[in-house]
Amino acid sequence: MTCNIYNVYNEGDNAFYPYTHFIFYAREVRTMRESGFQARLIRTLKDRFPGCVVLKNDANYIQGIPDLTVFYKNKWAMLECKKSENESHQPNQDYYVERMDDMSFARFIFPENEEEVLHDLERAWKTSRATRISKRK
């Protein structure tokens, strides 16, 4: 990954100065981390819910629509991936997560709450698990 350097003109002293454009660089780093988490989450969903279909949604189509739609049997869920709990929400994300949660299941998911969200999703979908039978002595 490279950092772009630009010459910036400063009108005050009529001179050009080299300027490192860290905004794009930081955005690339953030995107890679979130995309890495998202890729791992997709694998986890497919392992935890065998046969599920996970679609990546186009953020440019509807601003604020959650990143992932997950279909499992006759149910669906939407998940908005964040690289951390403290990452800011984009316009309309809260609205769509709340609206989709009213219809089915939707959450913001990040590494710190991943297990909790997946457990809630499992409970919402009532995934069948092997029955645990205790032996009497």
For residue 120, give every residue at least 6 positions away whose Cβ sits within 8 Å of its Cβ, in sequence order, or none. 105, 107
**What domain count does the chain have?**
1
Q: Does the residue 62 lie in any domain?
A: yes
| Per-residue pLDDT reduced to its tens digit, 79-110 | 999 999 999 998 899 999 999 999 999 999 99
Residue 127 DSSP symbol = -
| Per-residue pLDDT reduced to its tens digit, 26-65 | 443 344 477 889 999 999 999 999 999 999 999 889 999 9
Q: Which helix (H) or strand (E) holds 24?
A: helix 22-48
Taking the C-alpha atoms of residue 38 and residue 24, their distance in angstroms, rounded to an integer, is 21
Q: Does the residue 19 lie in any domain?
A: no
Q: Give pTM, 2 decimals.
A: 0.68
Range of the domain at 92: 50-127
Task: Supply the CATH number for residue 63's domain.
Answer: 3.40.1350.10
Among 92, 99, 69, smallest CA distance to 81 is for 69
Q: Does the residue 77 lie in any domain?
A: yes
